[in-house]
Chain A
Amino acid sequence: MNQPQEALLPAPPEISPESAGMPDAATKPRVLYSRSEAHESAHLHVSGSATYVDDMPELAGTLHAAIGMSAKAHARILAIDFTEVQAMPGVVGVLQAGDIPGSNDCGPILHDDPILADGVVKFVGQPMFAVVATSQEAARRAARKARVEYEELPAVLDIRAAKAAGELVVPPLVLVRGSPEEKLASAPHVLRGTWSVGGQEQFYLEGQISYAVPREDGCMQLWCSTQHPTEMQHLVAHCLQLASNQVVVEIRRMGGGFGGKESQSGIFACIAALAARRFGRPVKLRPDRDDDMMITGKRHDFVYDYAVGFDDTGRILAAKVEMAARAGFSTDLTPPVITRAVCHFDNAYYLGDADIRAFGCRTHTQSNTAFRGFGGPQGAIMMEYIIDSIARQLGMDALAVRRINFYGTTERNVTPYLQVVRDNIIGEMVDELVATSDYHARRAAIARFNAGSPVLKKGLALTPVKFGISFNVPHFNQAGALVHVYTDGSVLVSHGGTEMGQGLNTKVAQVVAHTLGVPLAQVRASAADTSKVANTSATAASTGSDLNGKAAEDAARQIRARLAAFAAPLLGGAAEDAARVRFADGAVALHGAQGACSLPFADVVAQAYLARVQLWSDGFYATPGLHWDARTLTGNPFYYYAYAAGVSEVLVDTLTGEWRLLRTDLLYDAGNSINPAIDIGQVEGGFIQGMGWLTSEELVWNREGRLTTHAPSTYKIPAIHDCPAEFRTRLFQRPNPQETVLRSKATGEPPLLLPFSVLMALRDAVSSVGGHRVQPPLRAPATPEAILDAVDAVRAGVTEAPGVTLHYERLA
């Protein structure tokens, strides 16, 4: 269980790893737990020998499933003719909703998510049936041969239309603090507007996959690429009318998840298990990339209506926002996603009086789901856009407006949801980043550049991040672990978290190695397995290391305590000396009156076994101090906040809207980083991923509701040249004031908000076309087309506003 931080922890290391020259002296280990160890699987990744689900040897008799998908956005299924399907070579059978013995549902919260459509389809791509055949190709070929007769129904494809029609998956969230209407009415300045930000496909490189194998007595074993093995276990159990103890789900690693394998792996797990049960044979379901993208939900796109009142200094007096999110056809995780959007609308700013509302709008499209940041980015970016607009309205540098609105440390430190911000370091971090990035000098240089450059314009922006760490639902904030010490001294740790590339297993192994004082190479992390650690939470909400690291540490400490009690007499001490036995460098030692006495860890373990000392232990952790009232949207939902700031400089072509990121400086609050290299990897990777969301990644549905960007040929995530030539990332390493594992902080999601600096820098560059006197209506994703639209709108605005200096008159 939860234990206080150890008093004997070594002093935190002074580490300031820079992107440039990571593995040099700056990151050389001082203590074991804060060390840029390679990812535990890196040697396997590079060799092609890291095993993903599709790489496992298939059992003899394995069948393959493929999904038949709806071609209509909203329709009644009148009939499906499977004659041609059945006649295709290799086909073993077809499964439909009626073949499901248990509940036809894979919804994580509400039960409105059919595994296979039953009578009505609600988006183009919705699974209607599954074809099972002797090979994946045979199943895929056959699935296309079904003849479906539909009766089309009216489809809602637009967020605003759904909102206007009251088509909501849950009642609206309403958070009102103070008297925002009165404050707006009396504010010296008011800005009102609408805005929008697009959705985002997770684009995990390894697609969804499940491999189900029937076991004796009706049991089912699954290997499933999922962030949430326990939920897969529950869904499969409900689908097949089994008890949880009859279903085992295991996952060694995923080829990326990013939220897309939190709830949405369920449909694939359930269909594979259903087919395995029906045909009594192992069944693998690996959808093709296009099918995966057509079926699964994405990051919610948002539309906003906002109003903000502020004074002459740019200080916000009141803010009002209605955020409408595209839920898609079902509820899925929309309620917690929009809750997080509500709780991150403030980002790092004290808003004064506030009226924050969120709507989960039901549309006939894929059911949107978790994606790194989980609504937080969509909430916070609206505020950054507002701040940027305030600055332009007042003719101030946006940085000054940001600073004047930062949360205070002793006052102005209560969030709209009434959590007190106690650990605020954003001002200090921004000061540091302003200095290290040479912000002010570059701002001046950019003004000079733009004055002399008729076509290309530069822009610069610094944006902060404050991100709440913990699941917004308190009971998810728990974790279990199992640590085995074998008689040769080697250690195996199982925990409830899943490895999807984020380095969780590496960090947990480092924590266990540190706790037991053994070399990291002696510790192995096993696959996540519902039969080893039960009732796990999704590996999500950036909590993987915080929760599972603590649980594993708890288990390791229990073993260590037993070993210490056993070893004290061996090391020449008395029983009460157990507390002074030290575990370090692969040895167990006691400094007694006669000097130090030390034994190799493996020897102590071997002897302890003979003495019948338990060498394995479970561990458990529950994050303390959390509470949340989902009705009033108030409480203390976050154990702590992670902070960050980024500065980006861009170059924009005002003729075409093309742009390039020239330089980015990032500063991230990682607490006492357990592994600086892994944390920097999360920061940089999250930054680039978020930049993709805000720039090149555009989801386009056509008028029939068909997603037309369903493969990497049409959906463009960042590629190698999108990495800026100057990319300077540093960790702000100050121990977490909260007692997190080794005083570290989470790094999973907050970095995704750092590329707000890119979008705001783009807006700054576009703004220069109108002498910074016209608000550029730049939508996100800021594709070249969106940027050119904004440039042209600014030009038009300038023309309409006499007296404004026009920097772009003719072609120079």
Chain B
Amino acid sequence: MTNPPIRLLLNAEPVEIHGLPVTTTLLAWLRGQRGLKGTKEGCAEGDCGACTVVVGALDATQGDALQLASVNACIQLLPTLDGKAVFTVEYLRALADGALHPVQKAMVEHHGSQCGFCTPGFVMSLWQLYERRPEDAPASPSSGGARCAGGCAGQQVCGPSAGQPGPQGQPPSRAEIASALTGNLCRCTGYRPILDAGEAMFAEPAVHLDRAAIRAALLALRQRRAAAALDYQAADAHCHLPRNLAQLLALRAQKPQATLVAGGTDVGLWVTKQFRELGDLIHTGAVAELQAMTTAADGGLRIGAAVSLNAAYAAIAGRYPELAELWERFASTPVRNAGTLGGNVANGSPIGDSMPPLIALGARVVLQSLRAERVLALEDFYLDYMKKDLAADEIVAAVEIPPRAQGLRFRTYKLSKRYDSDISAVCSAFALVLAPDGRIGAARIAFGGMAATPRRAAQAEAALRGRRWDEDALEQACAALAQDYRPLGDMRASAAYRQRAAANLLRRFYLETRQHAALPAEAVNVFADIADRTGLAGLANQA
């Protein structure tokens, strides 16, 4: 078949798309081609949430269950939505037979809109949360929200992803509502009434999405698709959607110049802000093998490159609950829904928030090509500013995170001007393994925002190794840290602040993890009570 269309569900109706450029954004299509003007453009860079829509997809790792996720339509490239279901704000009244949906009703009654421009985005983020109504929840071993306790049987890792139900029988807490709204900016209300609406929406008589029907329609779409990679073509450019790893590697070898697109949360900006010519696109999101989370050979986690950041972090945090705060502060909920761990790692920005914790934990990156598979320590993957040890025919296939070491003291801290959805001025991760005699065995310290690449603090680590974890060792490590990095100053922070704060974060780490009179997070971190640290408390109890 030549030139097949993109097929998706738009507000539950099947739609075929031909002839639009491969870089057409979902937002441009909704507003320009479909006349759906409820979805707004506020920034065209995934930072304001006025364009939030909900995307439904079948999760092959969960028995093709329908997963709903809020995403920013402004930076989603249309071809990457092939086989998925897109829901816009206009659909909510259709669901409620023309009346206001409970989410909408609660927003009206609690005065959650003023100018109204951000409102459809808030409504859609709330709707995604609404669709995890407590009565929908299957029995879940997790507690305290979407968190996996870690004891998964079998190969498949149970990392609940976005859109999964919370604990049974309880509507989301105010904290969970806030978490769902980290990607939505409102300049008018100050947010309090919107949080009130989020609580009140569950008090209304329920209005349900017919999940079974959507799932059936998506399965029907899948039936129609060819076994071969989709080759969508318009205006002399192709967008390839390989279905399996073999197809992806073959395409990569064949088209080393093509742009790989995973979640598109960065590539989208190349389109909307930079008008970069991307040439052909290869989308990794439909590759079944890259969606998998399995157990690595060393018993650690192996996370496929196309697993969403939210799902990946949930799984990692099951083993390393110290990541809770960083997870919540990594971009925003819709960006984490769309973005992938593999994409963040492969992009390799010096200010990406995945790399410091992964490097500190000793993560490895799995690179694949038709030729071979290579496994690198993650820190060795980054050669220089935006330069990676990645051949033209290679792809990042997975990230492997080793199992938790005995005696591990691990923390991650992020500094930025704002708690939610801000790029780090400094992102830090500290991992010490304390031997039974109290001496520091392994020391791995990694920073983002301090150098041209995410990088380890070799001299600070050396200052710690073999020492007792005491104040003298700390201060020597702080002094060494000043030699490890020569940060730049920019609009996020001055070089001097980065340098000072980096050392102070090491001091915070010390206060939290020293062997005697360690301070709880509440005593050293103003955000301690925001992020869900229930898992961390559990670990502390074990120790």
A residues near B (Cβ < 8 Å) are 19, 22-23, 36, 38-39, 41-52, 54-55, 137, 140-141, 144, 203-207, 253-256, 258, 288-290, 453-456, 500-503, 651-653, 655-660, 677-678, 680-681, 684-689, 696, 698, 700, 708-709, 711-714, 716-723, 725, 727, 783-785, 788-789, 792, 810-812
Sample of 9 more A-B contacts, CB < 8 Å, known A684-B190, A712-B185, A721-B420 = A42-B107, A205-B115, A205-B117, A205-B186, A655-B504, A656-B501, A656-B504, A686-B190, A784-B425
Whether B190 pairs with A712 at a CB distance below 8 angstroms is: no
Whether B419 pairs with A46 at a CB distance below 8 angstroms is: no
Q: Could you tell me the distance between the alpha carbons of A52 and B113 in the complex, rounded to whole angstroms?
A: 15
Nearest A-chain residue to B184, judged by Cβ: A720
What DSSP secondary structure best describes chain A's contact surface?
loop
Q: Which of A45, A500, A789 has the most CB of B within 10 A?
A: A45
A48-B37, A49-B38, A51-B37 known; A685 and B188 CB under 8 Å?
yes
Interface residues on B, range: 35 or more
The smallest beta-carbon distance between A460 and chain B, in angstroms, is 15
Check: B82 CB closer than 8 A to any chain A CB: no
A205-B187, A720-B181 known; A255 and B113 CB under 8 Å?
no
Whether B191 pairs with A688 at a CB distance below 8 angstroms is: yes
The smallest beta-carbon distance between B362 and chain A, in angstroms, is 26
Q: Scan residues 263-298 of chain B and give those whose CB is less than 8 A from a CB of chain A.
A: 272-273, 275
Nearest A-chain residue to B186, judged by Cβ: A205
CB neighbours (8 Å) of A688 from chain B are: 189-191
Check: B463 CB closer than 8 A to any chain A CB: no
Whether B43 pairs with A708 at a CB distance below 8 angstroms is: no
CB neighbours (8 Å) of B10 from chain A are: none
CB neighbours (8 Å) of A718 from chain B are: 190-191, 418
A-B contact pairs, 16 of them (CB 8 A): A22-B193, A39-B116, A41-B113, A42-B107, A45-B120, A47-B100, A204-B115, A205-B115, A255-B40, A258-B187, A456-B525, A681-B190, A684-B192, A687-B190, A713-B423, A811-B507
The smallest beta-carbon distance between B205 and chain A, in angstroms, is 17
Q: Provide the B69-96 mask, 1 if CB < 8 A to any CB of A, else 0.
A: 0000000000000000000111011000
Nearest A-chain residue to B90, judged by Cβ: A48
Whether B178 pairs with A720 at a CB distance below 8 angstroms is: yes
CB neighbours (8 Å) of B114 from chain A are: 39, 501-503, 681, 685
Check: B446 CB closer than 8 A to any chain A CB: no
* Other-chain residue from B109, B421, B524 in contact with A455 (beta carbon distance below 8 A): B524
Whether A46 pairs with B100 at a CB distance below 8 angstroms is: yes
Q: Scan residues 418-462 of chain B and give those whose CB is less than 8 A from a CB of chain A.
A: 418-423, 425
Whether A203 pairs with B178 at a CB distance below 8 angstroms is: no
The smallest beta-carbon distance between B31 and chain A, in angstroms, is 8
A716-B418, A719-B420 known; A52 and B117 CB under 8 Å?
yes
Q: Could you tell me the distance between the alpha carbons of A184 and B90 in the complex, rounded to whole angstroms?
A: 65
CB neighbours (8 Å) of B507 from chain A are: 655, 811
Nearest B-chain residue to A687, judged by Cβ: B190
B residues near A (Cβ < 8 Å) are 28, 36-45, 47-48, 50, 88-90, 92-93, 100, 103-104, 107-120, 123, 174, 178, 181-182, 184-196, 272-273, 275, 413, 415-423, 425, 471, 474, 490-494, 497, 500-501, 504-505, 507-508, 510-511, 519, 523-527, 530
A43-B100, A727-B192 known; A256 and B497 CB under 8 Å?
no
Whether B109 pairs with A713 at a CB distance below 8 angstroms is: no
Whether B190 pairs with A685 at a CB distance below 8 angstroms is: yes
CB neighbours (8 Å) of A23 from chain B are: 109-110
Whether A681 pairs with B189 at a CB distance below 8 angstroms is: yes
The smallest beta-carbon distance between A264 and chain B, in angstroms, is 16
Q: Which of B44, B508, B524 has the most CB of A within 10 A?
A: B524
Nearest B-chain residue to A23, judged by Cβ: B109
Whether A719 pairs with B419 at a CB distance below 8 angstroms is: yes
CB neighbours (8 Å) of B47 from chain A are: 711-713
Whether A38 pairs with B111 at a CB distance below 8 angstroms is: yes
The smallest beta-carbon distance between A397 and chain B, in angstroms, is 24
* Other-chain residue from A39, A653, A789 in contact with B525 (beta carbon distance below 8 A): A653
CB neighbours (8 Å) of B425 from chain A are: 784-785
Q: Could you tell me the distance between the alpha carbons of A140 and B28 in the complex, rounded to whole angstroms?
A: 15
Nearest A-chain residue to B105, judged by Cβ: A46
Whether A455 pairs with B419 at a CB distance below 8 angstroms is: no
Q: Could you tell me the distance between the alpha carbons of A465 and B511 in the complex, rounded to whole angstroms?
A: 41
The smallest beta-carbon distance between B530 and chain A, in angstroms, is 6
Q: Which of A700, A717, A720 has the most CB of B within 10 A?
A: A720
CB neighbours (8 Å) of A720 from chain B are: 178, 181-182, 184, 191, 194-195, 420
Q: Could you tell me the distance between the alpha carbons of A785 and B495 in the complex, rounded to whole angstroms?
A: 11
CB neighbours (8 Å) of B193 from chain A are: 22, 681, 684
The 7 closest A-B pairs by CB, nearest first: A48-B38, A501-B115, A255-B117, A45-B116, A688-B190, A48-B89, A501-B114
CB neighbours (8 Å) of A687 from chain B are: 190
Whether B100 pairs with A22 at a CB distance below 8 angstroms is: no
A39-B114, A721-B530 known; A205 and B497 CB under 8 Å?
no
Q: Could you tell me the distance between the alpha carbons of A698 and B93 in the complex, rounded to whole angstroms?
A: 40
Q: Which of A36, A51, A716, A727 has the most CB of B within 10 A?
A: A716
CB neighbours (8 Å) of A44 from chain B are: 116
